[in-house]
């Protein structure tokens, strides 16, 4: 491992003694900031600000990763870890001068407290020897200015502590020259001046000592307008009297107190929390009070004890640990104070009877001392107020299941469950790393079932440790069963159920009822409207506040709709569900869940009808209940329907699964139909696929043919949009047949229309026209009829019947203008523009497509805009406006890529590659076109494949690959379909882009 230096120029010294530095300013800056924060995570934001103080590049994340990788590669043994908060450089104290300096300075302080000034001076001199000059000299990094200034202050303080030790050891004669040099650098530093006065006075130079005071006073008055402080005045008076002005020092405590329980050896994670608490308690201002709150089993006491142990050096007078038993039977305050006074040396009759008097004596014993008081498991603010020290220097760390909101001036740290990595680390420490590593997937199942809660993980890990032969998968299976989960989470005197029960029993009857009701909702992230629907009581707000105060419900802030959100831990929910099963009937539980699901369905219905309908499937009006929420609540939530859907998206997807699990498949379908309006509009295809597969599987298991076929039809839509035309056609045909047998002609019309569009993509125009005509005849509503007529127009293009297609597109446009719907208008204009182009009217086509783009830019219909931009690119290419065409294609490709619409993204890429041929970059275009060709072939899209071959032929010709050009041309001809006006026009327009641009 190399040795690093930051106390002076940035250096890296290899074990052989060779010194190097990283190449490049960015690598030097990165290494510098990591070293100044050695062994602590540095957030990515801080690193970005360090490397790029002005404006970071768009690729800053990958650039940062590259710089880190280069540092690792250049310096063997360099350990830079990535964690959720940033990057951390791990280094031993002996391998970094800054850490060596601090370690030696700490040793000096310890020796000084122990009354050994000679040893202290030796340690301080060793610390100061690490400095080779100003911090990071020669490397100016604005982001580190504050850190550099702080380190210089540390150096100066260490020097002053060293001088105190050497003065105490009688070595004043060696110090005068060094102190005079330091005073020149820091003329306002009073402590240095006092030390120099002492050294000069002891050397028999009283006049020089008084001159130091005179110069300091003149400088302070002139520069700051203040007189010297008390310490300098005391030393000055002693010199005037001819006395030895020994500097005052705080006496070290004779009997430091430490009541802390042992620090836990297998604490997992919590480094950030410990760092935050250490910062809060060690700021030195007043009497800092920090409260650790959190749900039962979160590890509050463990964290408090571990933090207190790490802070022992900061509180040399001692650490008090006071168990208050607030969750079970809160201890009497008089008894607590009596125990504390005896621990502080107050015995017998000296302990007053009155509680207030005991509190006064307690504060008197702690006056002017540095003591950390740990109050564990507090019940209320009243229980802790009398236990707070009265003078600065001491600090208080409290744990409580309640937030202690009435405790003024306290800082609060809510303790969340462990991260996934921390949970796995804890399991590995308890059950053995080899065992957990060998069954990692099952270990993750255990951690998930435990909700990453430390108490639950400790119980599970202990059970595994007691039974070395127990397979992790077997325990995971037991824990995943909610009915028996809490039974499994108990070992010896540890149990999750009992821990949560203590908090539940302390609640009021109304809050207990609210707690049980919330347990019926499987959604862990709850909006206030859902909680209100569950509780359905005038006193719901007070009950919710009580649950939040008791850490059984966490208020997580406002969502973008302005609604308060709540979170409940999974194990807490399981406990609440248990209570509900014991204390309430099934009918009561079903009625409560029905209220929430009805409210969700009605909100989704209203929101979906306010969004543009882009998903090519019907929206049923059947089975929609009356909205149970108040009208003003609905309007507030749905002021922006897209925002509401984005906020509730995960919950609604989860609700589909939960409703299917209890057999409410039709309600699940109705919610999903409405959610799909948002998901399809924003191309969240993964969520759509997951939800419809869940619905399909549930319907298949229940032999519910209708819902199963509707789910399959929507899954076919997702195949279609990804360009998997063959599979989509197969799915559509099967669904259409099933829907005909079931008599659902309205849905069949939509499916036949989608089938027609897929067949066009496969180059089967005749079949497409037949499907589109059948869809139009089956249509019972205007939306599906319009969609079918668009499919007819597309098929007619491929059959060369342009005039018929033009007539259809004109009718669609007229209806769109009457509707006033801008999305429909933009789509209709796009269809008409292409028919005009195929009919030989390029000027009208260009005017129409430009209007389409303008209209769609005002909407949220990004997919339709991408299609119009692609059409605009083709029409501009035909008009000879090459630059405009390429720009339109690039904008269309960008949108299509973001929407995961691969066929459209590929067609735009093909056009852009065609323009490269015209720019003399055919060699660059060929590999891109080959990739497009491979993907179009895989999709089964013959027209798209043929078009790509035509462009590829031109690229081969441009680079002189004659044989390859001829092969591509021959294959393209074999794929040509007679009368396909669409393909022939597109070939002409694309090939126009391959021509050199006019000079």
pLDDT for 693 equals 95
- Answer whether 268's CB lies under 8 Å from 388's CB: no
Average pLDDT, the chain: 86
Contacting residues for 388 by C-beta, under 8 A, at least 6 apart: 287, 289, 373, 396
Which of these, 614, 617, 609, lies nearest to 784 by C-alpha position?
617
pLDDT at 834: 92
- Work out the angle at residue 567's Cα, subtended by the Cα atoms of residues 563 and 573, and round it to the nearest 5 degrees: 135
Identify the CA nearest to 90 among candidates 109, 71, 66. 71
- Top pLDDT among 378 and 780 is at 378
C-alpha span between 721 and 728 (Å, rounded): 9
Q: Report residue 540's pLDDT band, with 50, 70 and 90 as the boundaries.
A: confident
Q: What is the pLDDT of residue 284?
A: 62
Buried b (16+ CB within 10 A) or exposed e, 203-214: eeeeebbbebbe
pLDDT at 61 over 80: no
The predicted structure's pLDDT at residue 251 = 37
Nearest to 384 by CA among 400, 370, 369: 400
Q: What is the pLDDT of residue 141?
A: 84
Q: 467-496 pLDDT, tens per residue?
A: 888 889 888 888 888 777 888 887 766 778
Chain segment 823-868, per-residue pLDDT in tens: 889 999 999 999 999 999 999 999 999 999 999 999 888 888 999 9
**How many percent of the chain have pLDDT more than 70?**
97
Q: What is the mean pLDDT of residues 499-522?
A: 82
Q: Look at residues 264, 339, 257, 337 and name the one whose alpha carbon lies nearest to residue 300.
A: 264
Tens of pLDDT, residues 612-639: 777 888 888 888 888 888 888 899 999 9
CB atoms within 10 A of CB 589: 17
Give the pLDDT score at 656. Answer: 92
The answer to whether the Cα torsion of 397, 88, 8, 126 is positive or negative is positive
pLDDT above 60 (res 253): no
Q: What was the pLDDT predicted at 493? A: 65
The SS3 assignment for 965 reads helix
pLDDT, tens digit, 9 for 90 and up, residues 295-348: 888 888 889 999 999 998 889 888 999 999 887 778 889 889 988 888 887 766
The DSSP call for residue 621 is -
pLDDT-based confidence at residue 69 (cuts at 50, 70, 90): confident
| Dihedral pair phi/psi, residue 491, rounded to 5° | -155, 130
Question: In angstroms, rounded to a whole number, what is the distance separating the alpha carbons of residues 964 and 911?
Answer: 20
pLDDT of residue 852: 95
pLDDT for 72 equals: 81
- Is residue 461 over pLDDT 70? yes
pLDDT of residue 915: 94
- What is the DSSP code (8-state) at residue 392? B
Q: How far apart are CA 528 and CA 525, in angstroms?
A: 10
Q: Residue 996 burial by CB count (10 A; 0-12/13-18/19+): exposed, middle or buried?
A: exposed
pLDDT band at 250 (very low <50, low <70, confident <90, very high): very low
Q: How confident is the model at residue 783 (pLDDT cuts 50, 70, 90)?
A: low
DSSP-based three-state secondary structure for 396 = strand
**Residue 434: which H helix or E strand, with range?**
helix 433-438
Q: Is the pLDDT of residue 13 over 80?
A: yes
Give the three-state DSSP class for 320. Answer: strand
Model pLDDT for residues 146-156, shown as the tens digit of each residue: 788 888 888 88
List, in order, residues 6 or more apart from 843 with CB less than 8 Å away: none
Tens digit of pLDDT for each residue in 433-458? 889 888 899 999 998 888 888 888 88
pLDDT for res 247: 47
Burial letters for 97-122: b for 16+ Cβ neighbours within 10 Å, e otherwise? bbbbbbbbbebbbebbbeebbebbbb
pLDDT reading at 88 higher than 90: no
Q: How high is the pLDDT of residue 819?
A: 85
Task: Specify the pLDDT at position 252.
Answer: 35
Tell me which of 77 and 561 has the higher pLDDT: 561
Q: Which residue, 621, 638, 618, is CA-closest to 630?
A: 638
8-state DSSP, 866: H
């Amino acid at each position: 491992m190399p040795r690093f230096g930051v106390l002076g120029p940035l250096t890296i010294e290899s074990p052989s003694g060779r010194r190097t530095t990283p190449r490049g300013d960015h690598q030097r800056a990165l290494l510098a900031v990591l070293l100044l924060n050695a062994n602590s995570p540095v957030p990515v934001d801080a690193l970005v600000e360090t490397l790029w103080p002005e404006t970071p590049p768009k690729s800053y994340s990958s650039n940062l990763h590259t710089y880190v990788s280069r540092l690792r590669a250049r310096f063997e043994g360099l350990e830079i870890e990535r964690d959720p908060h940033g990057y951390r450089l791990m280094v031993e104290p002996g391998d970094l001068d800054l850490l060596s300096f601090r370690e030696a300075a700490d040793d000096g302080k310890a020796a000084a407290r122990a009354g050994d000034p000679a040893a202290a001076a030796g340690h301080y001199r060793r610390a100061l020897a690490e400095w080779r000059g100003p911090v990071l000299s020669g490397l100016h990094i604005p982001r580190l200015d504050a850190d550099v200034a702080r380190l210089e202050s540390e150096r100066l303080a260490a020097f002053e502590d060293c001088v105190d030790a050497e003065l105490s050891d009688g070595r004043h004669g060696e110090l005068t020259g060094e102190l005079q040099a330091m005073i020149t650098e820091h003329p306002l530093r009073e402590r240095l001046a006092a030390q120099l006065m002492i050294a000069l006075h002891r050397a028999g130079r009283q006049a020089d000592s008084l001159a130091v005071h005179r110069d300091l006073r003149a400088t302070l008055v002139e520069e700051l307008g203040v007189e010297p402080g008390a310490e300098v005045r005391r030393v000055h008076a002693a010199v005037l009297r001819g006395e030895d002005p020994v500097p005052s020092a705080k006496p070290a405590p004779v009997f430091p107190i430490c009541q802390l329980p042992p620090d836990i050896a297998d604490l997992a994670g919590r480094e950030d929390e410990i760092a935050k608490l250490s910062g809060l308690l060690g700021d030195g201002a007043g009497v800092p009070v920090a409260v650790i709150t959190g749900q039962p089993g979160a590890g509050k006491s463990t964290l408090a004890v571990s933090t207190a142990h790490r802070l022992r050096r900061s509180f040399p007078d001692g650490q008090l640990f006071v168990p208050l038993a607030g969750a079970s039977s809160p201890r009497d305050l008089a008894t607590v104070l009596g125990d504390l006074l005896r621990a502080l040396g107050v015995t017998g009759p000296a302990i007053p009877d009155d509680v207030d008097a005991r509190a006064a004596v307690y504060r008197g014993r702690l006056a002017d001392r540095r003591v950390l008081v740990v109050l564990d498991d507090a019940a209320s603010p009243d229980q802790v107020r009398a236990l707070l020290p009265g003078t600065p220097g001491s600090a208080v760390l409290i744990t409580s299941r309640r937030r202690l909101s009435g405790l003024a001036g306290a800082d609060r740290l809510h303790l969340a469950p462990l991260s996934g990595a921390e949970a796995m680390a804890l399991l590995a420490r308890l059950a053995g790393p080899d065992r957990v590593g060998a069954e990692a997937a099952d270990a993750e199942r255990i951690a998930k079932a435990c909700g990453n809660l430390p108490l639950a993980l400790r119980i599970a890990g202990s059970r595994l440790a007691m039974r070395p032969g127990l397979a992790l998968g077997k325990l995971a299976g037991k824990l995943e069963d909610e009915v028996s989960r809490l039974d499994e989470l108990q070992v010896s005197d540890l149990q999750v159920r009992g821990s949560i029960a203590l908090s539940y029993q302390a609640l009021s009857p109304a809050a207990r009822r609210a707690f049980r009701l919330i347990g019926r909702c499987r959604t862990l992230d709850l909006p206030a409207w859902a909680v209100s629907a569950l509780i359905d009581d005038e006193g719901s707000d007070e009950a919710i506040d009580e649950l939040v105060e008791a850490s059984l419900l966490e208020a997580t802030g406002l969502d973008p709709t302005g609604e308060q959100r709540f979170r409940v831990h999974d194990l807490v929910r399981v406990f609440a569900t248990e209570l509900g099963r014991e204390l309430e009937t099934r009918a009561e539980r079903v009625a409560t869940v029905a209220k929430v699901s009805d409210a969700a369905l009605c909100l989704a219905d209203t929101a979906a009808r306010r969004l543009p309908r882009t998903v090519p499937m019907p929206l049923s009006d059947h089975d929609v209940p009356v909205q149970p929420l108040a009208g003003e609540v609905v309007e507030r939530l749905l002021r922006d329907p897209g925002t509401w859907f984005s906020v509730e998206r995960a919950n609604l997807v989860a609700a589909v699964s939960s409703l299917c699990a209890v057999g409410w498949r039709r309600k699940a379908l109705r919610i999903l139909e409405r959610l799909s309006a948002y998901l399809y509009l924003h191309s969240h295809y993964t969520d759509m696929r997951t939800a419809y597969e869940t619905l399909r599987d549930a319907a298949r298991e229940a032999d519910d043919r209708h819902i199963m076929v509707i789910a399959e039809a929507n899954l076919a839509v997702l195949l279609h949009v990804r360009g998997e035309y063959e599979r989509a056609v197969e799915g559509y045909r099967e669904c259409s047949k099933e829907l005909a047998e079931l008599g659902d002609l309205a849905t069949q019309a939509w499916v036949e229309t989608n089938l027609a569009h897929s067949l066009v993509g496969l180059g089967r125009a005749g079949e497409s026209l037949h499907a589109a005509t059948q869809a139009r005849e089956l249509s019972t509503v205007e939306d599906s009829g319009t969609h079918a007529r668009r499919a007819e127009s597309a098929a007619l293009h491929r059959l060369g019947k342009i005039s018929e297609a033009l007539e259809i597109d004109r009718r669609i446009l007229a209806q769109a203008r009457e509707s006033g719907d801008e999305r429909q208008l933009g789509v209709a204009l796009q269809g008409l523009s292409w028919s005009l182009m195929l009919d030989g009217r390029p000027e009208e086509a260009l005017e129409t497509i430009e209007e389409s783009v303008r209209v769609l830019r005002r909407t949220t219909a990004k997919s339709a805009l991408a299609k119009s931009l692609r059409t605009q690119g083709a029409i501009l290419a035909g008009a000879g406006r090459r630059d405009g065409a390429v720009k339109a294609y690039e904008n269309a490709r960008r949108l299509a890529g973001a929407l995961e619409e691969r066929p459209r993204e590929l067609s735009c890429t093909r056009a852009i590659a065609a323009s490269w041929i015209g720019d003399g970059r055919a060699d660059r275009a060929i590999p891109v076109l080959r990739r497009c060709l491979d993907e179009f072939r895989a999709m089964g899209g013959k027209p798209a494949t043929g078009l790509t071959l035509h462009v590829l032929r031109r690229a081969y010709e441009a680079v002189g690959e004659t044989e390859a050009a001829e092969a591509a041309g021959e294959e393209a001809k074999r794929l040509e379909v007679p009368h396909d006006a669409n393909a022939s026009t597109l070939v002409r327009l694309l090939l126009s882009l391959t021509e050199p641009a006019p000079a």
